[in-house]
Structure 1
Amino acid sequence: MSLGSRIKEKREQLGMTQKQLADKLGVTKSAICNYENGTSSPKEDVLLNIFKVLSVDPNYLYQDSVNVTENSKKKDEIIENIRLFLDNLSDEDLTNLYDYLEFLKWKTSKRKEK
């Protein structure tokens, strides 16, 4: 089953129309249609919102395209622990953490340029 098929499956399980999902993600209904039929793939920010809006783990959407190894299981466990941690942060702390992550992303990109 493809990424698009999984998105559609989960959307339908939630009783959500393509239009409703599109509205929640800030994209068009045709974009959702394109994701579901495999014509296009969601950009990173939209994909992150799909995980959130559909209340789905990334592994669910990618389970047929990614070979799950022990390392990725460990990574998933770490990510889940981070999510639990983030749920307990204040809005201000979340903003500060986000700013720091953006800084690390920038720093990494500069390192790669060298």
Structure 2
Amino acid sequence: MLSKNLKLLRTANDMTQEQVAEFLGIGRSAYSNYEDGRREPPIDVLEKFANIMGCDLATIYEENEEAVKSQLICAFRTDGMSKEDMEEIASFKRLVLSYLKMERLLND
């Protein structure tokens, strides 16, 4: 489920393995191993991955594919983006995710 969700979230955000790997500070082949299920990524890599995807860390381990898809807050075109651009997007997505969590708490 982890490897499947990594790929699902990456493709839903229209990102290449190379872009994600660069953002995570790892090689593309290492990231490919995570997506293929050959290796499990360390928690710090997963946290950074969740940031750029705009989801909770728990979403990466979610077994229900529809639940994963429902967590896609916002997606950006990634053509020609630098690592710095991706850092800014990750910050924005963290802000949006925090806002949505706060809204849910206030409405419950």
Q: TM-score, normalised to structure 2's length? A: 0.56
Q: Percent identity?
A: 32
8 Å contact from structure 2 (residues 46, 57) kept in 1: no
Match of 1:29 in 2: 28
Q: Counterpart of 2:47 in structure 1: which amino acid?
A: L
Higher relative contact order by CA 8 Å / sep ≥ 6: 1 or 2? 2
Give me the CA root mean square deviation.
Answer: 2.1
**Normalized per residue, which structure has more helix?**
1
Deviations along 1:11-62, one digit per CA (max 9) or x if unpaired, are 0011100000000000010111111110001112111101111111122211
Q: Counterpart of 1:43 in structure 2: which amino acid?
A: P
* Distance in 1, Cα, partners of 2:10 & 2:45: 15
Is residue 2:51 matched to residue 1:52?
yes
Is residue 2:2 matched to residue 1:20?
no
Q: Counterpart of 2:30 in structure 1: which amino acid?
A: A
- For these two proteins, the number of residue pairs brought into alignment is 68
* Distance in 2, Cα, partners of 1:60 & 1:48: 11
Bigger CA radius of gyration: 1
